[in-house]
Amino acid sequence: MDEEYDCIVLGTGLKECIISGILSVEGKKVLHMDRNNYYGGDSASLNLNQLYEKFFPSQKPPTTLGNSRDYNIDLIPKFLMGTGLMVKFLLKTGVTRYLEFQAVNGSYVFKDKKIHKVPTTAMEAMSSGLMGMFEKRRCAEFLKFVQNYKVGESSTYDGFDATSKTMAELYKKFGLDENTQSFVGHALALWLDDDYQKLPAIVTIERIVLYKDSLLQYKGESPYIYPRYGLGELPQAFARLAAIFGGTYMLDKPIEEIVYGADGKVAGVKSQGEVAKCKFVVGDPSYFPNKVKKTGRIIRTICVLNHPIPNTNKEHSLQIILPQRELKRRNDIYIMCISGDHNVVPKGKYMAIVSTNIETANPEAELKPALDLLGPIEHQFSSVADVFEPLDDGTKDGVFISSSFDATSHFETTGDDVLNIYKRITGKTMDLTPMKQPDEDEQ
């Protein structure tokens, strides 16, 4: 502890582990500490005993659920987009060598009290049950436009500059009705609410293209991939990377104080009576209660099932989006489901996690439309989490704080936050070019 480091990272959540891994690769001397005795923080995957200790500390898991070690339950439910930022971080750092991924089987959207497959091409739009015949044609033309649009190539604009005109204006150009706008904005572009319609249309076009490219990357029925043994494998993989490049890890370390110098800049971190000195600190909001602001709340309910979700072709892994318009809400509700095929529950069982931004005083009731789609639930665990953002960018005092995980069903906003933190620390945009691996010289 009584050493000097370039950086001390507090919390082993995914964002913090990515930052510590990349800083270590770039030659920084990093000390990574966590008050917990396990890796992952809020992005950990817990076995059954740990899950009960967290949610029902006075109870033992029922024997009907099987062995504790057969469970790796995510606390934060998210998938990786096949060509998204998280995959780019994995490829940049080479930590894919420590992980094994599987394509997610299906991507669905809820409309008119039914579950529909998400169409992603003009051809699929024409056969989808989401729209009437005339609307199908309009949607097919819209998807052709999106697929062909190239910034800087006016021949693809069809008289519409997506960098200066809004998404609402693009919908109007193609005459898309509110139902189609809902599925495009929420099931393809994966927006949480409708505020995106005020933004330049190019932002949503790029998100739809990301969805399509991710879908084609693994030639599956969804744009998502997922690591075997749960999302908790991700922070551990980046932690391993940091350790290879000289990073030091200390779990089960209580953080007593953030130490500042006379100039107001961070000087170190005190734990168990010792101070480790540093030039700057990175951490999740839980370590800095006086430096963050609350921006909302999220409810997440983990459900153990002994059957696939009904009306989804018996998929072993999938996502269902319940758009806010269908539920007369402001925010979407997400269902993520994976199974024993992913080594997160015993064979024959399924894990569904339902999540959304809280809008009322009765958050569990808000999830009822989604929970009703799951069929009989064997056991469920609900949690409510506050969402925090840093009060400032950290450049004045050298304390760089991540934002809480949001309710989105993928890691794109997580990746955006990592890029933002890195730029605040270094003043540079992160180079996502795959780096040279430490054993390449031996090959």
- For residue 354, the domain's CATH number is 3.30.519.10
Considering the domain architecture, whether residues 169 and 205 belong to the same structural domain is answered as yes
Instruction: Give the separation between CA 75 and CA 83, rounded to whole angstroms.
Output: 24
In the chain, the number of structural domains is: 3
> CB-based contacts of 418: which residues, under 8 Å, 6+ apart?
15, 18, 19, 85, 89, 402, 430
Domain containing 13: what range?
4-44+232-291+390-432
Considering the domain architecture, whether residues 239 and 375 belong to the same structural domain is answered as no
Which amino acid would we find at residue 14? L
> Would you state the pLDDT for residue 298?
97
Q: Domain for residue 79, yes or no?
A: yes
Q: Could you tell me the mean pLDDT of each successive run of 10 residues in the chain, 443 residues long?
A: 88 96 94 91 92 93 93 94 95 92 92 84 72 84 93 94 97 94 91 94 96 85 93 94 93 95 96 95 97 97 96 91 93 95 94 96 96 96 96 97 94 95 97 74 42
- For residue 236, the domain's CATH number is 3.50.50.60
Considering the domain architecture, whether residues 14 and 38 belong to the same structural domain is answered as yes
324, 369 in Cβ contact below 8 A?
no
Considering the domain architecture, whether residues 284 and 394 belong to the same structural domain is answered as yes
Q: Domain for residue 440, yes or no?
A: no
Instruction: Give the separation between CA 309 and CA 184, rounded to whole angstroms.
Output: 23
Considering the domain architecture, whether residues 382 and 395 belong to the same structural domain is answered as no
> Would you state the pLDDT for residue 17?
95
Considering the domain architecture, whether residues 376 and 301 belong to the same structural domain is answered as yes
Considering the domain architecture, whether residues 403 and 276 belong to the same structural domain is answered as yes
Residue 318 tokens, joined: 């999938």
Considering the domain architecture, whether residues 341 and 373 belong to the same structural domain is answered as yes
Nearest of 231, 265, 298 to residue 90 by alpha carbon: 231
> Would you state the pLDDT for residue 132?
80
CA distances for 52 relative to 49, 64, 276, 338, angstroms? 5, 14, 35, 20
Q: Please say which residue of 171, 193, 217 terminates a domain.
A: 217
Considering the domain architecture, whether residues 73 and 143 belong to the same structural domain is answered as no
- For residue 190, the domain's CATH number is 1.10.405.10
Instruction: Give the separation between CA 188 and CA 389, rounded to whole angstroms.
Output: 27
Q: Domain for residue 443, yes or no?
A: no
Instruction: Give the separation between CA 433 and CA 89, rounded to whole angstroms.
Output: 9
Considering the domain architecture, whether residues 147 and 204 belong to the same structural domain is answered as yes
Could you give the percent of the chain with pLDDT greater than 90?
83
Instruction: Give the separation between CA 210 and CA 336, rounded to whole angstroms.
Output: 19
Q: Please say which residue of 217, 251, 273 terminates a domain.
A: 217
Q: Domain for residue 164, yes or no?
A: yes
Considering the domain architecture, whether residues 281 and 416 belong to the same structural domain is answered as yes
Considering the domain architecture, whether residues 125 and 201 belong to the same structural domain is answered as yes
Q: Please say which residue of 217, 246, 279 terminates a domain.
A: 217
> Would you state the pLDDT for residue 27?
94
Q: Domain for residue 441, yes or no?
A: no
> Would you state the pLDDT for residue 119?
74
pLDDT in tens, 39-87: 888 889 999 999 999 999 999 999 999 999 999 999 999 999 999 999 9
Phi, psi of 360 (to 5 degrees): -130, 180
Task: Give per-residue burial for 219-244: e unless 16+ CB within 10 Å, then b.
Answer: ebbbbbbbbeebbbbbbbbbbbbbbb
Q: Domain for residue 49, yes or no?
A: no
Q: Domain for residue 112, yes or no?
A: no
pTM of the model: 0.91
Instruction: Give the separation between CA 339 and CA 316, rounded to whole angstroms.
Output: 6
Q: Domain for residue 114, yes or no?
A: no
